[in-house]
Amino acid sequence: MAKYINPYTDFGFKKLFGEEGNKNLLIDFLNQLLPLHHQIADLTFQNVEQLPDTIEERKAFFDIHCKSASGERFIVEMQKAKVDFFKDRALYYLSYPIREQAQRGEWNFELSAIYFIAVLDFWYEPEKIAKFDRYVALKDQYDDPFYDKLGLIFLQMPAFKKTESELETHFDKWAYFLKNLETMEDIPQILNESVFAQAFNTAEVANLSKQQREDYEKSRLSYIGIKQVTETAEKDGVKKGVEKRNLEIAKNLKQMGLSDIDIQKATGLPQEEIQKI
């Protein structure tokens, strides 16, 4: 096993950014992505399972859902493999923190800012035109801001190519850390900062408890399984319908022992369909 955890696994991502004791890491990371007028001073973690309003609607499971002290909401997702309609899924997820702000009685409909941040471990756009970081905001036809309290931020990690000597900003350092953490043996001199010292200490496998190591190993195998199945499907050029292809992937993942939630994240299929397999 590598010295440091893989941050693309569910366990690794939540260990680094989803624990109360490490929320300063999440704050530091998010502040590199957010505009100056929405910088975070403190935050609290929210329930990651969003229940639907009716039994006919489907649930949403977020990797990290948090709220800043000044009221901004953040959904932070680590997406391991390409799924269909990912942009649609992002907008669907954003609907939950919008609706949860509704107030009983008279209400003027004022909303706090909401951001969706996705760290993508795959080529979402064609490699030739892909951007590493993409910030999406609502603008009009004159490219003027229409609404500055809704933002989608996508980090396409395979597109980050900078070497250690090319790192210039604090954001560069975070991207380099996430991209290369699992393969590192020593802490690079350029990451010799207190926030990264904490991140490396958190990520060191030797510092995990026995139960945490077991949980991480399951998460790591789940990550490998999802990547292998989806990459094989792409290489084989599956020409079946989208739903039929996803069902085939789901069956393979089910046989590998992955949880229904992991399979849902990998395929986008409703839980009811996965449970029928």
Neighbours of 142 (CB within 10 A): 6
Looking at residue 56, its pLDDT comes to 43
Provide the mean pLDDT of the chain: 86
Q: Give the integer Cα–Cα distance in Å for 68 and 39.
A: 9
pLDDT per position as a tens digit, 82-127: 777 888 888 988 998 898 898 888 889 999 999 999 999 988 776 6
Domain locations in the chain? 10-208, 209-277
Tokens read off for 117: 């941040």
Tokens of 136: 């999406």
Say yes or no to pLDDT of 251 above 80: yes
For the segment 142-166, the average pLDDT, to the nearest whole number, is 94
**Gap between the Cα atoms of 271 and 260, Å rounded:** 7
More confident residue, 66 or 1: 66
Q: Counting beta carbons within 10 angstroms of the beta carbon of residue 106, is it exposed (0 to 12), middle (13 to 18) or buried (19 or more)?
A: exposed
pLDDT at 129: 67
Segments in 204-241 forming alpha helices (H): 210-235
Tens-place pLDDT, residues 173-225: 999 999 999 999 999 999 999 999 999 999 999 999 999 999 999 999 888 88
The reported pLDDT for the residue numbered 48 is 62
pLDDT for position 60: 54
273's CB contacts (< 8 A; 6+ apart) are 247, 250
Determine the pLDDT at residue 1.
75
* pLDDT greater than 50 at residue 57: no
Q: 253 or 160, which is more confident?
A: 160
Task: Please report the pLDDT score of residue 51 as a whole number.
Answer: 46
Looking at the DSSP bridge assignments, the partners of residue 21 are: none
Instruction: Provide mean pLDDT across the span 226-236.
Output: 68
Q: How far apart are the first and last CA of the chain?
A: 32
Average pLDDT rounded to a whole number, residues 151-178: 95
Q: How large is the average pLDDT for residues 141-169?
A: 94
